[in-house]
Amino acid sequence: MTATLDGRVVLVTGAGGGVGRGIALACGAVGASVVVSARGESGTETADDITRRGGEAIAVRCDVTDRADVDRTLDAAVAAYGRVDAVFHNATSRASSQPHLLEDADLALWEEHASVSLRGSFHCAQAAHPHLVRSQGSLILLTSPAGIEGSESLPFYSVVKASQRGFTKSLALEWGPDGVRVNAIAPLAVTDALHRAFEADPTLETSLRAKIPLGRLGDSEDDIGTVAAFLASDGASYMTGQTLIVSGGRFTLL
């Protein structure tokens, strides 16, 4: 059964590429009006692709590290579509895939990660709350398997993604009585950053595939976006405080 988001309004941060773009496209494909948010201009292309397929979307520039920008983006969503039913906080720092060492990395790099993923979650949640109470909607955070098992080469990415899991669980309990659901998705999907990593190390793709029981890397739209659309739909109305690991079976520990 495919989720339906007919009449729903979905906001996706960091939707100019990668998993965010896949979520925006998938939600648009099942009827949502999509607010495509990105720090730069890349959201326009995603929004254009949704409308080209017959869907409804607008692009709004938004820097989630700036609360006023997040408020302005939600205002734009309401101005365009009258409501907000789901907010996906997917944006991550541009330094996310930059390898570093836990013992050497400095606070400047930490700030890069924390400002988008931690403070960005805080800003998105606070700003979205009144809209989501009104719509009885949901907040969905994009975490990562790295935030569950810890990555030696990407420690700060692992740490901020773990933080979003703690955030999700406690906020789900806090907002449950408000009728607002809070969940997280931990995806393993092909992204631009992963493509770059494959180009740098041609053996990486083969070795990674070998560790995935389903034998392939996830597609941002068809594999991850569809799960995201489900979480935003009425089909998931009794689900809150959960992390869905969408990794082809690569990660089974929780």
User: Which residue, 92 or 158, is less far from other proteins as judged by CB?
Assistant: 158
User: Which residue, 143 or 220, is less far from other proteins as judged by CB?
Assistant: 143
Q: Give the tokens for residue 190.
A: 């092909």
3-state SS assignment for residue 34: strand
User: Are 25 and 13 within 8 A, CB to CB?
Assistant: no
Q: Which stretch, 12-20, 53-61, 76-84, 171-179, contacts other proteins (CB under 8 A)? A: 171-179
Measured from the Cβ of residue 253, the count of other Cβ atoms closer than 10 Å reads: 7
Q: Which amino acid is at 78?
A: V
Q: Which of 25, 171, 224, 231 binds other proteins (CB under 8 A)?
A: 171
Q: Considering only residues 80-139, where is the footprint of other proteins by CB under 8 A? A: 101-104, 106-107, 110, 114, 118-119, 121-122, 125-126, 129
User: DSSP H helical segments within the chain, as ranges?
Assistant: 18-29, 43-52, 67-81, 107-135, 146-149, 155-175, 192-200, 202-210, 226-232
Q: Which of 148, 197, 208, 239 binds other proteins (CB under 8 A)?
A: 148
Asked if residue 188 binds other proteins (CB under 8 A), the reply is no
Q: Closest distance between other proteins and the C-beta of residue 82, in Å?
A: 22
Q: How far is CA 32 from the centre of its chain?
A: 16
Q: Which stretch, 6-14, 146-154, 216-224, 228-236, contacts other proteins (CB under 8 A)? A: 146-154
Measured from the Cβ of residue 164, the count of other Cβ atoms closer than 10 Å reads: 22
Which residue carries 């955030």 as its tokens? 167
User: Which residue, 38 or 128, is less far from other proteins as judged by CB?
Assistant: 128
Q: Which of 30, 32, 159, 228 binds other proteins (CB under 8 A)?
A: 159
Q: How far is CA 22 from the centre of its chain?
A: 10
Of 157, 167, 175, 251, catalytic? 157
Q: Which stretch, 19-27, 84-92, 161-169, 210-218, contacts other proteins (CB under 8 A)? A: 161-169
Distance CA 62, CA 96 (A): 18
Distance CA 32, CA 44 (A): 17
Q: Give the tokens for residue 34.
A: 């999509």
Among this protein's residues, is 81 annotated catalytic?
no
Asked if residue 167 binds other proteins (CB under 8 A), the reply is yes
Beta bridge partners of 246: 187
Asked if residue 179 binds other proteins (CB under 8 A), the reply is no
Which residues form the catalytic set?
A: 157
Residues that bind other proteins (CB under 8 A): 67, 101-104, 106-107, 110, 114, 118-119, 121-122, 125-126, 129, 147-152, 155, 158-174, 241, 254
